[in-house]
């Protein structure tokens, strides 16, 4: 529990004939209990079919930075990356189809089906220049579901990570 404490000055005035006179001045210390709730998102997960392939895509092609890459005692690989200009948000490249991820076989099979079909839409990625980024990534072998196209919210291309996820790569409209 956190507290915010402040000094409070209390002055009692006496008013007579349009003149105020301070009769008493004292200082009190008071504390208010603050309830700090969740303040930001620190991690999010992208389910992937292959962590090595995901590593190659996010780090070598998109230029994300590896934040954590450790293998736990049970064999589970905890791999997180961050976008170049958003280091406070870690993206867990979560192995959805391996046995050590905590999911039972039915869940792993369901996730595998969705990822194999490439239908896991994980979000929108910002770029200041969608057309230039599209050309640069295409030259690196990145696959797209659509070329850059004008939308009401900006210029968008649909990018795939090769591990079952697709994203809107968007250059927002100015203003």
Distance (Å, rounded) from C-alpha 101 to C-alpha 118? 20
CA distances from 97 to 49, 52, 114, 118 (A): 6, 13, 11, 14
The pLDDT, as a whole number, for residue 122 is: 72
- Give domain limits for the chain: 2-34, 43-172
Residue 8's Cβ-side half-sphere holds a number of Cα atoms within 13 Å equal to 9
Place of tokens 């991820």: 101
Structure tokens given for 92: 């867990």
Buried b (16+ CB within 10 A) or exposed e, 80-118: bbbbeeeeeebbbbbbbbeeeeebeeeebeebeeebeeb
Q: What is the pTM of this model?
A: 0.78
The pLDDT, as a whole number, for residue 127 is: 97
Residue 82's Cβ-side half-sphere holds a number of Cα atoms within 13 Å equal to 12
Q: Tens of pLDDT along the chain (175 residues)? A: 455 555 555 555 555 555 555 555 555 555 666 678 899 999 999 999 999 999 999 999 999 999 999 999 999 999 999 999 999 999 999 999 887 888 999 999 999 999 999 999 879 999 999 999 999 999 999 999 999 999 999 999 999 999 999 999 999 999 7
* Cβ contacts of 24 within 8 Å, gap of 6 or more: 10, 11, 12
* CATH topology for the 43-172 domain: 2,3-Dihydroxybiphenyl 1,2-Dioxygenase; domain 1 (3.10.180)
């Amino acid at each position: 529990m956190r507290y915010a404490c402040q000094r409070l000055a209390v002055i009692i005035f006496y008013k007579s004939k349009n003149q105020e006179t301070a009769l008493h001045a004292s200082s009190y210390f008071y504390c208010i209990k603050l309830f700090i709730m969740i303040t930001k998102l620190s991690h999010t997960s992208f389910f992937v079919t292959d962590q090595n392939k995901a590593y190659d895509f996010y780090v070598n092609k998109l230029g994300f930075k590896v934040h954590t890459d450790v293998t736990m005692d049970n064999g589970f690989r905890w791999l997180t990356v961050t976008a170049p200009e958003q280091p406070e948000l870690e993206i867990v490249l979560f192995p959805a189809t391996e046995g050590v991820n905590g999911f039972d076989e039915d869940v792993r099979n369901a996730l595998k089906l969705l990822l194999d079909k490439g239908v896991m839409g994980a979000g929108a990625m910002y770029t200041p220049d969608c057309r230039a980024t599209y050309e640069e990534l295409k030259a690196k072998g990145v696959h797209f579901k659509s070329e850059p196209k004008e939308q009401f919210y900006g210029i968008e291309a649909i990018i795939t990570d090769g591990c079952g996820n697709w994203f809107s790569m968007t250059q927002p409209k100015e203003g």
